[in-house]
Amino acid sequence: MKTSDIILKKQNNEKLEYKEIEYMVNSYVKDKISDKTMSDFIWAIYNNGLSIEETYYLTDVMIKSGEVIDLSEIKKPIVDKHSTGGVGDKITLIVSPIVAASGVCVPKMSGRGLGLTGGTVDKLESITGYKLNLTKKQFIESLKTVGCAVISQSEKIAVADKKIYALRNEIGAVDSIPLIASSIMSKKIASGSDVIIIDLKVGQGAFMKNIKDATSLAKTMVKIGKYYNKKVICTLSDMNIPLGSNIGNALEVKEAIDFFDNKYDKRLYELSVYISSLMISSAKKISMSNAKNLVINLIESGHAKNKFYEWIKNQGGNIKNLKDKAKKYIVISEKSGYINKIDSLKLSELVFNLGSGRVKKTDKIDYACGVVLNKKIGQKVLKGEILGVIYYNKKVENMDKEFIDAFTIEKKKKKVKKIIIKTIK
């Protein structure tokens, strides 16, 4: 079998066989072909796409390149949740303890953020003492006793995906629907859950910029799940506006703490309740209405809050000792009116420049920096009122202007779009 023949076949938009995809992927993992050769193969896929069968083949090969976690000894319903990432996305910190408090197990392997936003691992690393690297035995034990555990992605799961994703990122071939779908699903299926809920962000602050492409990606992931007899449900949520009030790793942990103290942003609450309800409904096989009632009760009664603190303590974290030392810069509104737009991309770029994001996984980040929005979408603001606060350890030139430029303030109030766009099963 020749790599040049396989690449040419895909360049000519011909369908690849399982053994051809397997040969390319395994040869690359074993360093038998160069980055240049694999780049040519990736670009052929990027330009011509993959059929659903080819996407399944690629997913399957990547799953088999590493370990598959066996969760069969856990005798409770199990559900995994994945987010494609967005600005201020701290949903995992909120829904994991809510769902665990309902008696459903939430095993979660998360990654570090690349680019403008921090990942769940970065947020948890801002908690002093939190252990992200548990042994398999410790992971299973945490799931049995607490009901949820969030650890860093195992280096032994979907080994091929890690190497291929790094190359895709380097050559700028990230936004390909079949490559994204196989990347996400290979890790999720290898993680062992039979029910997978995906929060697929759409908009300026997400890598999926429009509903059409996001829908296509969602449908592809649902189809891949069916190949493996996994229940996959994708919810498309709006990421044109930041999620919640806080953007930045330690700041987002603080917002999760506030959430369980019944101080929350309306949109953040709405999405958290919906995703939690979807997870519980799917895992327990109950109606969404009953699941939602249960979720609200768990939040209001304090059971979810207790589970949040139990989970963090169980993994060695000291929630009272966050890596949050930073200077504050108060930003004042320059005019009066209604806030009709908050540009999540502009704010994420500012937070990245403050030191919150990374280009390579080995880059050091500032856990304390970020921004807090004092005013929300749809609210009225007066000239001279506090628009928000910038937390920094290194000053960025014109950071106050960058912050202000993210807000569109107009005389007439516009209708705020709902955060949940649609759900695909």
**Which active-site residues does the annotation give?**
82, 161, 168, 183, 187
Element (H, E) at 342: strand 337-342
Cα 398 off chain centre by: 29
Hey, is 322 helix, strand or coil?
strand
Cα–Cα dist 80/195, whole Å: 6
β 380-381/337-342 pair status: antiparallel
1 burial (CB, 10 Å; 0-12 / 13-18 / 19+) is exposed
The rounded distance, in Å, linking the Cα atoms of 295 and 171 is 43
Helix, strand or coil for residue 162? helix
Tell me the longest C-alpha to C-alpha distance in the chain.
Answer: 70
Q: What distance in Å separates the CA atoms of residue 241 and residue 408, rounded to the nearest whole number?
A: 12
CA atoms within 13 A on the CB side of 246: 23
User: Which residue, chain included where needed, has tokens 């506030």?
Assistant: 258
